Amino acid sequence: MSEPLPIFCFSDVLCVFAYAANARFEQLHTDFGEQVRLTQHFISVYGDVPRRFERMGKSGAEYGKDILDVAKRFDHIEVHPDVFRDSYPVSSMPAHLYLRAVKLLEDEGVIGATFVPMIWDVRVAFFRDLVDISKREHLDAIAGRHGVPTGDVTRLLESGRAHAELDHDARLQRDYDVQVSPSLVLNEGRQHLNGNVGYRVIEANVRELLHKPADEMSWC
């Protein structure tokens, strides 16, 4: 059996388009199984939420209305009507760092396949339930529901190992020149599928890469 096709997925947990795209990524796994290896990486789009609003010249309530307008286009996601209105996470970075620690525990065999489901639950907690996912207590609560030992998470945060993993995400982002959440990077960085890309487009790109001859020359 040939090696699975590597696909890098870059996203921010506070990105509504990444929230909506999760169903497409699950479908990718359903359709292609072990033929593809989709790995999740973080990009800091909402690393500083208040200044993001300032740059856009919008209040949280105005931005929240934009998010609700986007959410209406996707009937498979739930977004609270008060999203971003009064209180909201000031940064997605604490959640990204915490999730990187969870992935390390998964890699060490301390826990089972928890990283990807927990990314989803962090998104749901914010968008549907308005949980401030920048606060450690709320991340601990989500982790606890997945059976993640929060003491081990603390160990990885205090050791700096989770920070190193998050820095690796940032390096990959720079290497592949990723600017948008979500973004899929395929074909050793030669193909980028950025933003709200439909599933059929993703599927067509994956099928092309899986079925073209290994020695086929690029037209470029």
Give the separation between CA 121 and CA 141, rounded to whole angstroms: 11
Q: What is the pLDDT of residue 215?
A: 47
Tokens matching residue 137: 């207590």
Write down the pLDDT at residue 133. Answer: 98
Q: How far is CA 122 from CA 74, 89, 113, 142, 145, in A?
A: 19, 12, 15, 7, 12
For residue 219, what pLDDT is reported?
46
User: Residue 2 has what pLDDT?
Assistant: 80
10, β-bridge pairs: 41, 183
CATH topology for the 5-211 domain: Glutaredoxin (3.40.30)
Q: Divide the 220 residues of the chain into consecutive groups of 10 and give the mean pLDDT of each group.
A: 90 98 94 95 97 96 97 96 94 98 98 97 98 98 98 98 98 96 95 94 95 54
Residues 147-154: contacts with CB within 8 Å, 24+ apart?
A: 147/111, 147/114, 148/102, 148/105, 148/111, 148/114, 148/118, 149/105, 149/110, 149/111, 152/101, 152/105, 152/110, 153/98, 153/101, 153/102, 153/105
How far is residue 125's CA from residue 138's CA, in Å, rounded to a whole number? 9
Model pLDDT, residue 28: 94
C-alpha–C-alpha distance, residues 125 and 119, integer Å? 10
Token pair listed for 84: 């971003």
Q: Answer whether the bond into residue 182 is a cis peptide, omega within 30°.
A: yes
For position 1, what pLDDT does the model report?
Answer: 54
Alpha-carbon span 149 to 90, nearest angstrom: 26
Q: Give pLDDT, residue 213.
A: 53
Radius of gyration over every alpha carbon of the chain, rounded to an integer in angstroms: 18
Q: Which residues pair with 8 in a beta bridge?
A: 39, 185
Q: Would you tell me how many other CB atoms lie within 10 Å of the CB of residue 111?
A: 20
